[in-house]
Amino acid sequence: MKTTFVSTFSIGEATRNSIARAQTNLTRAQTELSTGQLQDAGRELGATYGSLVGFRQEHAELGALRDSNSQVAAQLDVAQLSLQSLVDGAKDFVAQLVGAQQVGLEGNVLQQLGEAGLATLTDRVNVQYNGAYVFAGTNTGAPPLVDYFQSGGSAAKSAMDSAFAAEFGFNSSDPRVAEISGAEMSAYIGGSYSAVFDDANWQANWSSASDTVPNLKISSYETVRAPASANESAFSKLASAYAAAADFGTENLGSAARQVMASSLAELASEAIDELGALQAGIGTSQERIPLANDRLGIQQSILSNSVSELNDVDPFEASTRLTTLLTQVETSYSVTARINQMSILNYL
């Protein structure tokens, strides 16, 4: 016969179980309160956990893009500055030429302008960012422009020399250059001289840059082109202007030829300035896109952060309330257990 509905074992077991469960929940609530995140996101979220992983991964990917964008932006800034400086130099060169033309081109002014321009050009084109030559196309490991004045002579110099010799039958350092007429000089500069700077010869003798300009990814589906390659005609034109001035704009040259040269070179340099401007505009467009892209990435990142928090974060107020409730529950359980254990008919027999 069974008259009661609860056994002694069952009383002890029930209180023990409820305390054990409350304590497990207590440690969980405590961890969640201190970290602000779910103690075991996988268990809580189940299949949604994939989204959490995805969001986190996408967030990191966007972060990586933003990091790399800052590099791209800096690279473009360096290129823009260099181009600006080249444009400024070229404009100065043109102004000097025009000014000098009016007062007469005395002595080696032309040569000095040319040498200075060439040095600036080489310096600016061979500008580096983060150890890579900015205007080198993909061949960032080697300076895109040769040092025209390097000791032992450069291929560019000898190409210039041989072209000059082929045209006039003597070297540019030959005293006979004084005999070159303006028409001859005009014909040379307007004719076979430009062949020295055509794409094939430019790449063979002057530039080691590659034609391929890498595309740089700035967001998931957007790319910008890296700064122009030194193989752009803007650079070769400018180089041809500077090189002509430096190489045979010497004091030995006849004044007529010098005049012709000055105006032709000013023209060449002006063309180069225009083309450099176009390059600058291209880089400028890219530069502009990067902050825009960054803004978008930032917005996406914050949306993703929100999504991650929504999935993974614990409301501190809720967690703290839960903790308090659990503490009360455990304390109640303790006192109930203690009282139940004291309660026995043996005390009254």
Partner 1 sequence: MSLSLSFDIGRSSLSTSADRTSVVTRNVARADDPDATRKSVAAVTLYGGGVQAGGAQRATDSVLFDGLLSSNSRLGAQAAVKAGLDQYSTAIGDASQERSPAALLGKLQNSLQALSVAPHDTASAEAVVNAGLDLANQLNVLSSTISDIRQTADADISRSVLSMNTLLAEFDEVNTSIVIGTHSGDDVTDQMDRRDAILKELSGEVEIRSIVRENNDMVVFASGGLTLFERSPRSVGFESTPILPAGSTGSSMFVDGIALDAADASGNVEGGRIAGLLYLRDTVAPALQKQLDEVARNLVQVFAESDQSAVPTLADQPGLFTFAGATGVPPANTIVDGLASQIQVNPNVIPSQGGDLGLLRDGGISDPLNAAYSYNLAGHTGFNGRINELIGGLNSAVGFDPAAGLGETGDLVSYAADSEAWLQELRSNTTRVYEYEAVFSERAVEALSSATGINIDEEMIELLDLERSYQASSRLLQVLDDMFNSLFAATR
Task: Kindly state whether residue 102 participates in binding partner 1, applying the rule CB under 8 A.
Answer: no
- Alpha helices (H) along the chain: 8-35, 41-45, 49-103, 109-125, 155-168, 182-190, 192-196, 199-201, 233-248, 255-312, 316-342
**Minimum CB–partner distance for residue 64 and partner 1 (Å):** 3
Task: Kindly state whether residue 339 participates in binding partner 1, applying the rule CB under 8 A.
Answer: no
Task: Kindly state whether residue 317 participates in binding partner 1, applying the rule CB under 8 A.
Answer: no
| Candidate list 19, 30, 31, 53; residue touching partner 1; CB under 8 A | 53
| Candidate list 29, 90, 97, 136; residue touching partner 1; CB under 8 A | 136
Q: Taking every pair of C-alpha atoms in the chain, what is the biggest distance, in angstroms?
A: 142
Task: Kindly state whether residue 200 participates in binding partner 1, applying the rule CB under 8 A.
Answer: no
| Candidate list 47, 103, 152, 175; residue touching partner 1; CB under 8 A | 47
| Candidate list 44, 92, 167, 179; residue touching partner 1; CB under 8 A | 44
Tokens of 167: 């045209």
Task: Kindly state whether residue 238 participates in binding partner 1, applying the rule CB under 8 A.
Answer: no
d(CA 209, CA 144): 5
Tokens of 227: 């700064």
Instruction: Tell me the number of residues near partner 1 by CB under 8 A.
Output: 65
| Candidate list 9, 102, 152, 339; residue touching partner 1; CB under 8 A | 9
Task: Kindly state whether residue 143 participates in binding partner 1, applying the rule CB under 8 A.
Answer: no
Tokens of 228: 């122009």
**Minimum CB–partner distance for residue 299 and partner 1 (Å):** 19
Task: Kindly state whether residue 19 participates in binding partner 1, applying the rule CB under 8 A.
Answer: no
d(CA 264, CA 295): 47
Name the residue nearer to partner 1 (CB basis): 25 or 194: 25
Residue 50: count of CB within 10 angstroms of its CB: 10
Sign of CA dihedral 198, 94, 143, 129: negative
Task: Kindly state whether residue 6 participates in binding partner 1, applying the rule CB under 8 A.
Answer: yes
d(CA 108, CA 249): 7
Task: Kindly state whether residue 37 participates in binding partner 1, applying the rule CB under 8 A.
Answer: yes
Name the residue nearer to partner 1 (CB basis): 189 or 326: 326
CA atoms within 13 A on the CB side of 147: 7
Name the residue nearer to partner 1 (CB basis): 54 or 191: 54
**Minimum CB–partner distance for residue 159 and partner 1 (Å):** 22
Part in contact with partner 1 (CB under 8 A); list of ranges 14-22, 78-86, 104-112, 148-156: 14-22
Task: Kindly state whether residue 190 participates in binding partner 1, applying the rule CB under 8 A.
Answer: no
| Candidate list 19, 30, 61, 171; residue touching partner 1; CB under 8 A | 61
Q: What is the DSSP string of 63-99?
A: HHHHHHHHHHHHHHHHHHHHHHHHHHHHHHHHHHHHH
Task: Kindly state whether residue 204 participates in binding partner 1, applying the rule CB under 8 A.
Answer: no
d(CA 87, CA 66): 31
Sign of CA dihedral 42, 45, 47, 50: negative
In DSSP terms, which residues pair with 223 in a beta bridge? 217
Please report where in the chains the tokens 């000791």 appear, as a residue: 151
Chain residues binding partner 1 by CB under 8 A are 1-10, 12-14, 17, 21, 37, 40-54, 56-57, 60-61, 63-65, 67-68, 71-72, 75, 130-133, 136-141, 210, 212, 214-217, 226, 312, 344-346, 349
